[in-house]
Amino acid sequence: MQLELNHVTKTYRGTQAVADVSLRIGPGVLGLLGPNGAGKSSLMRILSTITRPTTGTVIWNGTDIVARPEPLRRVLGYLPQDFGVYPNLSAGEFLRYLAAVKGLTSRSAKARVDELLELVNLTETGSRPVGTFSGGMRQRVGIAQALLGDPELLVVDEPTVGLDPEERMRFRNLLGDLANDRIVILSTHIVSDIEAIADDIAILTAGELRRRGTPEELLRSA
**22 lines the binding site for ligand ADP (CB under 6 A):** no
**203 lines the binding site for ligand ADP (CB under 6 A):** no
Strands (E), 43-116: 55-60, 63-64, 76-79
Q: Considering beta carbons, is residue 26 or 35 the nearer one to ligand ADP?
A: 35
Cβ atoms of 173 and 4 within 8 Å: the answer is: no
Classify burial at 6, counting beta carbons within 10 Å of its beta carbon; exposed 0-12, middle 13-18, buried 19 or more: middle
Q: How far is CA 86 from CA 42, 97, 181, 210, 211, in A?
A: 25, 11, 31, 39, 39
Identify which range of 11-19, 58-66, 109-117, 142-150 contacts ligand ADP by CB under 6 A. 11-19
Q: Considering beta carbons, is residue 42 or 139 the nearer one to ligand ADP?
A: 42
Classify burial at 106, counting beta carbons within 10 Å of its beta carbon; exposed 0-12, middle 13-18, buried 19 or more: exposed
Cα distance from N-terminal residue to C-terminal residue, the chain: 31
**151 lines the binding site for ligand ADP (CB under 6 A):** no
Query: CA-to-CA distance for 157 and 159, rounded, in angstroms?
Result: 6
Give me the least distance between CB of 96 and ligand ADP, in Å please: 27
**96 lines the binding site for ligand ADP (CB under 6 A):** no
Query: CA-to-CA distance for 3 and 93, rounded, in angstroms?
Result: 33
**15 lines the binding site for ligand ADP (CB under 6 A):** yes
**221 lines the binding site for ligand ADP (CB under 6 A):** no
Give me the least distance between CB of 36 and ligand ADP, in Å please: 4
Q: Considering beta carbons, is residue 36 or 221 the nearer one to ligand ADP?
A: 36
**84 lines the binding site for ligand ADP (CB under 6 A):** no
Tell me which residues touch ligand ADP (CB under 6 A).
12, 15, 17, 34, 36-42, 81
